[in-house]
């Protein structure tokens, strides 16, 4: 019984250390001068905690520094956390760099998580690249999730291509 109690104490101490480390990193991310793109990229690429990777992606999107594009694309492609992928997609949309389009388009239909698909659509609408119009139209017609179709319709409106007018009309209700 003594050994079990000691194991529980060790686990609690480890958890406290983990929480303290997270709080320390969140403070770094919440600093007034979020201009430390390198620190945010480091957290996005190397942090074990998905919450911190999410916050780093969001911070990179707020800074809108083009140096963040490749790390955000990599996080979008490779991160196992759907919320991290969503945050990376949103950040890419905020930065509005067309390099992200070739990565976002295939995921619009392939992504399993509807909230990530919705954020992909939003990002494509923010980037306003005409290459996204046809895939967005296909998603508008074929996606089973109403919330994704709503994001897709808004994205098509942001891009403003006439090809989207017919397919988007029945979905405005």
Q: Tens digits of per-residue pLDDT, 113-157?
A: 999 999 999 999 999 999 999 999 999 999 999 999 999 999 999
**Domain 1-95 classified CATH 1.25.10.10?**
yes
CB 37: neighbour CB atoms within 10 A? 16
- Contacts by 43-50, CB closer than 8 A, 24 or more apart: 44/71, 44/72, 44/75, 44/88, 45/71, 45/74, 45/75, 49/22, 49/25, 50/79, 50/80, 50/81, 50/83, 50/84
Residue 59 has what pLDDT? 87
Which class for 13: exposed (0-12), middle (13-18), buried (19 or more C-beta within 10 A)? exposed
Per residue in 4-15, pLDDT tens? 445 444 555 555
pLDDT of residue 29: 58
Q: Where does the chain hold its CATH 1.25.10.10 domain(s)?
A: 1-95, 108-173
pLDDT, greater one: 171 or 127: 127
pLDDT at residue 39, as a whole number:
86
- pTM score, two decimals? 0.78
CATH 3.40.50.620 correct for 108-173? no
């Amino acid at each position: 019984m003594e050994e079990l109690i000691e194991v529980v104490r060790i686990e609690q101490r480890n958890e406290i250390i983990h929480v303290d480390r997270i709080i320390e990193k969140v403070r770094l991310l919440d600093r007034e001068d979020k201009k430390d793109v390198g620190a945010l990229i480091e957290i996005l690429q190397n942090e074990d905690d998905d919450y911190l990777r999410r916050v780093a992606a969001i911070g990179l999107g707020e800074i809108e520094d083009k140096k963040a594009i490749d790390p955000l694309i990599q996080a979008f492609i490779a991160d196992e956390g759907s919320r991290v992928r969503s945050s990376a997609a949103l950040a890419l949309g905020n930065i509005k760099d067309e390099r992200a389009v070739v990565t976002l388009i295939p995921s619009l239909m392939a992504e399993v998580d509807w909230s990530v698909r919705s954020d992909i659509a939003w990002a494509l609408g923010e980037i306003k690249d005409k290459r996204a119009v046809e895939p967005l139209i296909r998603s508008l017609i074929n996606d089973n999730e109403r919330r994704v179709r709503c994001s897709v319709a808004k994205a098509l409106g942001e891009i403003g291509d006439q090809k989207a007018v017919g397919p988007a009309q029945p979905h405005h209700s």
